[in-house]
Amino acid sequence: MRFSNDFLDEIRDRVPISAVIGSRVPWDRKKTNVSRGDFWACCPFHGEKSPSFHCEDRKGRYHCFGCGVSGDHFRFLTDLEGLSFPEAVERIADMAGVAMPKADVRDIERERERTTLQDVMELATQYFQDQLQSANGAKARAYLRERGLSGRTIETFRLGFATESRNALKEYLAAKGVPKEQIEACGLVVHGPDIPVSYDRFRDRIMFPILSSRDKVIAFGGRAMSPDAPAKYLNSNETELFHKGSVLYNFSRARRSLQGAEGAGTIIAVEGYMDVIALYQAGVENAVAPLGTALTENQLELMWKMTPQPVLCFDGDGAGQRAAFRAVDLALPHLKPGKSVRFAMLPDGKDPDDLVKHDGRAPFDRVLAEARSLDDMVWTKEVGQGRFETPEQRAELEARLKQIVTVIADENVRKHYQQNVRDRLYAFFQGQSGARGGRGNYERGGPAARGGPRNGAGAGQGGFRGAAPRGPTLSSDRLTRSGIVSRNHDQPTLRESVLALTIVNHPQLLQEDYDEISVIDFDSRDLQRLWPAVLTAVADTGAWLSREALFERLSAEGFDTLLAALDQQIRNARLWTATTVAALEDARECYIQALSLYKRSKALRRQRMELEREIADATEAGDDSGIGGLLAALQEVQLEIVRMENQEAIIDGFGVMSGRVKGPAYGNK
């Protein structure tokens, strides 16, 4: 049914979005400001322990800063509860006390037809289930037992069996009064102008019902029992209910598993139905599968609705690697900040079913723990086992990698991938040159001169792990000159100075986001002393505090010299949005970006410490099985830290150059 924009706007305006969401999640008392219509909660779409889900009544929108989901009243109900859009509209209209508009006759008829077809599919599902438990299904039951499936699992996934008869299902449905037009519309029989008598599409197959996001059966997948069958797996054809490229097997159940997950959950895409079911039986409930074809854009978008970084799981053989590389090409154009994919490569010759059959989920969890990032897969795809010994070979590789990342539509993500390519190429080529005893053709004017890592890692290696730093990464000359490395903890980094001074110069930000600002933990000892004074000034005032009043109070407490030094540092770097001349809107944007960088830096360093501790524990315990993965993860983190510091060094070390200086994410001019 179609609704006018005026009607949708009317019911949205009558119902605060917090009323829709608040009936399903408890609001966080500390961060929520009811009087301003500003609400925070733990995200209902992914498991978390600290609230990062935010909604504003004024905007009528919600957004989770953890998993990236966002939307309005209707999107919340369709995504969380699996309602159709018309059902969500009706729910909001009821809350608003507004009568639903009269539906178009054609829309009503179309919806009625879909409902009727779903009833037919439900009848077929029950028939297949009954056949599996009958004498006809003995062979199929034996096969499922051999695959290790329990009776409870078979019932959970409503597995069934289609007999060898050409007309058994058709006759069963006809006896129930289902017209042949509806049987044909459901794709349950093969029919057409060149087929005199229609016949059952599925015969002598184990049947897997495929469910919609609302847990309605919309299609079937059938696994042939005979080894001579032309197709091992057969899916329903496209129907009014079923569009193969837009459906994931086990989607609804996997989505529900995330809502109750402890910590940040993810979605795992595996190859087939049996992989999903075997993983579920082993305790991995968040797996989905495409329907017998390569992953599509629509299926990838479905996964991104559930989690910002799904894991794509492929066999470790050549075919699996080629499928993974196709998924790389599929995902790259659609990347967004915080939205990507990871790749888990199974041991050669093994599928998820094999891994969990004897030892439970632990072997599969180890595979997931070593999942590789998308940029890692891009590198591996292009470098592989190739030889890059001549300038021409290196130039060709560089040109290819640069061309690949140009397909990324998001400008910010594309920029960071371009920097990633430069860093990896430098480390890889420098390592090859070092292995031959030479200085390397990137020594002058290369990534090192732009702030890239200087080390000889990557010699002779095809993947990222060969290109990543193998030990403490040495600073470039620019980084050393910038003072980031050499300054002590009494001297604020540019990143911290921008964050602190933006807030002090625009104290309205304190009133807007006090809870977030109050927990900032600066590394600089000077800022550690300043910050309690800033927060106390706001708390004592209890109302709007002007910039002049705040400066006067801080100056009286002896912070005028520090504030002047911070201001000079910012002006040298030409980061005008952190100064007093910036408009509040620009300062707010600068604050948001600076806070994001601050959090990212803190998280990376915390992650590095945790990985170093895990490596030390594993080494002390003599457990070498997972050290390789931990070292690779540590190298990734180290490289990312160096990238951030190098970007900051460009501004801090050369901010006083003539002309405009553009810094990372600070909105400078």
Residue 599, C-beta contacts closer than 8 angstroms, at least 6 positions apart: none
Query: Cα separation of 643 and 153, whole Å?
Result: 48
The CA-to-CA distance between both ends of the chain, in Å, stands at: 49
Tokens matching residue 439: 């200085």
Beta strand ranges found along 328-410 (DSSP E)? 342-345, 372-373
- Neighbour-count burial of 448, counting CB atoms closer than 10 A to its CB (0-12 exposed, 13-18 middle, 19+ buried): buried
How does DSSP assign 602-651, residue by residue? HHHHHHHHHHHHHHHHHHHHT--TTHHHHHHHHHHHHHHHHHHHHHHHHH
Residue 520, C-beta contacts closer than 8 angstroms, at least 6 positions apart: 499, 531, 595, 598
What type of residue is 141? R
Tokens matching residue 662: 């553009």
Q: How many CA atoms lie within 13 A of 100 on its CB side?
A: 14
The DSSP call for residue 79 is H
CB 433 within 8 A of CB 439: yes
Pick the CATH number of 251-369 from 3.40.50.880, 3.40.1360.10, 3.90.580.10, 3.60.15.10: 3.40.1360.10
Alpha helix segments (H runs only) across 436-483 = 464-467, 477-482
Query: Cα separation of 594 and 45, whole Å?
Result: 27
Coil, helix or strand at residue 488: coil
Composition of the chain by helix, strand, coil, percent to 5: 55, 10, 35
CB 573 within 8 A of CB 652: yes
Instruction: List Cα–Cα distances, 510 to 37, 500, 541, 574, 665, in angstroms.
Output: 17, 11, 12, 24, 21
Report pLDDT for 656: 32
Beta strand ranges found along 159-302 (DSSP E)? 160-162, 189-192, 195-200, 205-211, 217-224, 233-235, 268-269, 287-288
Number of H helices, E strands in the chain: 28, 15
Low-confidence ranges of the chain (pLDDT < 70): 1-2, 103-112, 259-264, 385, 431-491, 539-544, 623-626, 644-669
Measured on CA atoms in the order 89, 90, 93, 98, is the torsion positive or negative? positive
Report pLDDT for 259: 63
Report pLDDT for 648: 54
In the block, tokens 């894991």 appear at 311
Tokens matching residue 14: 């009558």
| Phi-psi category of residue 216: left, alpha or beta, with phi > 0 → left and psi -120 to 50 → alpha | beta
Residue 530, C-beta contacts closer than 8 angstroms, at least 6 positions apart: 500, 554, 559, 562
The DSSP call for residue 250 is T
What type of residue is 331? A
- Order of strands across the sheet with 342-345? 287-288, 268-269, 311-314, 342-345, 372-373
Query: Cα separation of 237 and 449, whole Å?
Result: 58
Element (H, E) at 314: strand 311-314
Query: Cα separation of 200 and 186, whole Å?
Result: 11
Q: Buried b / exposed e across 350-370, counting CB within 10 Å, b at 16+? A: ebbbebbeeeebebbeebeeb
Helices 411-435 + 374-383 axis angle, to 10: 50
Helices 85-96 + 5-14 axis angle, to 10: 50
pTM of the entire predicted model: 0.56
- Neighbour-count burial of 199, counting CB atoms closer than 10 A to its CB (0-12 exposed, 13-18 middle, 19+ buried): middle
Tell me which fold the domain 494-654 belongs to: DNAb Helicase; Chain A (1.10.860)
Q: Could you tell me which CATH number the domain at 105-242 has? A: 3.90.980.10
Element (H, E) at 62: strand 61-64
pLDDT digits (tens, 9 = 90+) for 373-418: 999 999 988 987 677 888 899 899 999 999 999 999 999 999 999 9
Domain boundaries, the chain: 5-96, 105-242, 251-369, 379-474, 494-654
Q: Considering only CA atoms, which of 532, 441, 495 is closest in space to residue 666? A: 495
pLDDT digits (tens, 9 = 90+) for 37-65: 889 999 988 877 888 899 988 788 999 88
What's the full length of the chain, in residues? 669
CB 75 within 8 A of CB 83: no
Residue 151, C-beta contacts closer than 8 angstroms, at least 6 positions apart: none
What type of residue is 224? A
Query: Cα separation of 159 and 650, whole Å?
Result: 60
- Order of strands across the sheet with 61-64? 38-41, 53-56, 61-64, 70-71
Report pLDDT for 536: 79
Report pLDDT for 222: 96
Domain 5-96 has CATH 3.90.580.10: yes
